[in-house]
Structure 1
């Protein structure tokens, strides 16, 4: 009996010692509308927010009152925050152009980084980020809301199982009425509609979702060609950037149509996969429909109502912590990965160039 008790004590001690301590997380910027995801996150054992970089004191005070963090952890620069709190990781919640600057400040110190989509404003910046990550052996993840959708995972699983046959066409639609119309903060709107700070308008803000998902679905295939057109349908609200785009990607045996827009009457992030036997519709985060062909126009339809993704995939910060701690090894070309998002940026850069030049851009597919 004593031997059994001793073994149980040792077992529970091992469990206690094997648990990773909370990662110290710094937050770089507060202007991104998604920053509430970390500021409102319930206390968990994986990540502890220890510092914030924000030069807009008024904004910091406003969010401090809303979310309850102390102004004592707010700093004016990355160097100041890193020196004071020594973070293990940094989450970027400012403009997209600053992603490179954040990685330049973090990588040499071995600090991991997660940015909000897209990875960068240009392919040139994305390649610099990649070089820094490889040189200093850090993780750089890119967070997309659609990474959390169980419907996308189910759709891809049905495709891989051969349920809808060989993939022939993908249609991905993302967007909303436009940042001003949905009432984003002035600080967010200011850089979202700046072509330098955001890389473009809807073509980058929402075009990245489809490019990211296609790169995941195709396991890292680079499209043969990229053709894009953009329009500005709300010049009064978005005077310096596009607010509507269509991007066509061609591959050897399939194609994709991406429709990012700030002109959808209803916010959406949905995906349709069309195969030789049927189609899958990811309508939203929880509803998926499967149609299988019967003859010319008849079909069977099954609707799936799905839960949130299992832990740690239900929360991007949990994914970030588990990847850093080595508890989670993500699949090649997964939606968070640097290798995926380099191709995503290659597609976005080609789309921007295509829209500007009015030509189809051919890519080196190796």
Structure 2
């Protein structure tokens, strides 16, 4: 029996530093073959590609040439968030399945355009939320689904890192980036999806929607903070009102340390409260800590070993293609859209300074809060 050919995969865009991680995923996946890489900035593409020994013959200067000549079946998009929609609408009609590096979209309207493009062309659309592949968090989801803590009534999230410019390619111990350097980066440009709220809230809101089995809040309040002179925030606090009570989501660029090296305080991750117990789930932790009504003293539960389809977005999508299934959990467009609803509503809440009802398909962005949403996107409100 002939061995099945590997799926042809391309990486499109290197604006997001996770592009290198995605190339490593492809190279480490026997069922995948890296057939093309492209970016608007050749030097940025080559800096990562040189480090990872990406062959020069798969480095393309023109995106259309990559599509035509390399003929990828899957594209992993690591562009700025603001370019996601344009790229999905280019790729999906060519029959190419798309994995978007988080965040999902700049706006809910953009998310719906991407979903429509994928559905109309019978292609898969998945979002890579790295936190979804942390064993602590998928172990938490399993325990919730098994009824360990009863019905979920609160989810509290705090996450972030030292700052996006502290992790530039090939540089370590950069110190604190200057205001001038920040202002020149897309990470600090609202029109491209900059700011800690747009960068990190989607993690919390998407995984919280997963933990709550799709339950959504009714209303949201939010505040952001950023140094004078920046057009985006570096910290946000969002409060979501559910029928069962209040949940909180906090984002921070400027944590004391990066959680993947040293877990800072406050610790990054989730606390999930149920009617019959709680789960504390920290990023990268080897165990989650569970309280129950039967055993109030916290118990350390070792994290689950990842299934093959839980090791990353690419592995998940390959599993879907092999089995004829759709992406599930936080990677799915359905759960990611719920997370985007919360993000967009939080943006409006920041801009208006008011308690804001949840945005959704029944409340198009064009008819509610457009001026406030545009003010945030233009950097007038941080």
**Are 1:23 and 1:89, in contact at CA under 8 Å, matched by a contact in 2?**
yes
Residue aligning to 2:17: 33
CA offset at residue 149 of structure 1? 1.8
1:21 aligned to 2:32? no
CA offset at residue 220 of structure 1? 2.1
Matches within 5 A, 1:1-366: 13=1, 17=2, 20-41=4-25, 42-180=27-165, 182-185=166-169, 190-198=185-193, 200-232=194-226, 234-235=227-228, 239-268=230-259, 269-285=268-284, 286-293=286-293, 299-306=296-303, 308-326=305-323, 328-331=325-328, 334-363=329-358
CA offset at residue 179 of structure 1? 2.0
**Are 1:281 and 1:289, in contact at CA under 8 Å, matched by a contact in 2?**
yes
- What TM-score, normalized by structure 2, do the two folds share? 0.83
Using a 3 Å threshold, how does the CA distance of structure 1 residues 137 and 187 change in structure 2: closer, same or farther? farther
CA offset at residue 267 of structure 1? 3.0
CA offset at residue 235 of structure 1? 4.2
**Are 1:31 and 1:187, in contact at CA under 8 Å, matched by a contact in 2?**
no
Using a 3 Å threshold, how does the CA distance of structure 1 residues 189 and 313 change in structure 2: closer, same or farther? farther
Using a 3 Å threshold, how does the CA distance of structure 1 residues 161 and 326 change in structure 2: closer, same or farther? closer
What is the count of residue pairs matched by the alignment? 340
Using a 3 Å threshold, how does the CA distance of structure 1 residues 203 and 187 change in structure 2: closer, same or farther? closer
3-state SS of 1:63 partner? helix
**Are 2:126 and 2:327, in contact at CA under 8 Å, matched by a contact in 1?**
no
Residue aligning to 1:8: none
**Are 1:283 and 1:289, in contact at CA under 8 Å, matched by a contact in 2?**
no
3-state SS of 1:359 partner? coil
Q: Deviations over 1:306-346 (max 9, x none)?
A: 25412121132111222233355544xx1000111112111
Q: Deviations over 1:20-48 (max 9, x none)?
A: 42111111112211111122344432111
Using a 3 Å threshold, how does the CA distance of structure 1 residues 88 and 302 change in structure 2: closer, same or farther? same
CA offset at residue 348 of structure 1? 0.6
Structure 1 gaps of 5+ residues are 1-12
**Are 1:164 and 1:278, in contact at CA under 8 Å, matched by a contact in 2?**
yes
CA offset at residue 188 of structure 1? 12
Residue aligning to 2:371: none
2:244, 2:62 → 1: CA distance?
49
Q: Deviations over 1:50-91 (max 9, x none)?
A: 011123222233223211112222223321111111111100
Residue aligning to 2:177: none
Q: Deviations over 1:175-234 (max 9, x none)?
A: 022223x34348998211111111x411011101111011112222232112111111x4
2:49, 2:12 → 1: CA distance?
15
3-state SS of 1:115 partner? strand
CA offset at residue 352 of structure 1? 0.6
Question: Post-superposition, which runs of at least 4 consecutive aligned residues in structure 1 deviate over 6 A?
Answer: 186-189
2:182, 2:57 → 1: CA distance?
22
**Are 2:154 and 2:245, in contact at CA under 8 Å, matched by a contact in 1?**
yes
2:140, 2:28 → 1: CA distance?
32
- What TM-score, normalized by structure 1, do the two folds share? 0.86
CA offset at residue 251 of structure 1? 1.7
**Are 1:32 and 1:188, in contact at CA under 8 Å, matched by a contact in 2?**
no
Using a 3 Å threshold, how does the CA distance of structure 1 residues 61 and 161 change in structure 2: closer, same or farther? closer
3-state SS of 2:64 partner? helix
Q: Deviations over 1:153-179 (max 9, x none)?
A: 222222233322332211011102222
Residue aligning to 2:178: none
Structure 2 gaps of 5+ residues are 170-180, 260-267, 363-382
3-state SS of 1:87 partner? coil
Using a 3 Å threshold, how does the CA distance of structure 1 residues 363 and 55 change in structure 2: closer, same or farther? closer
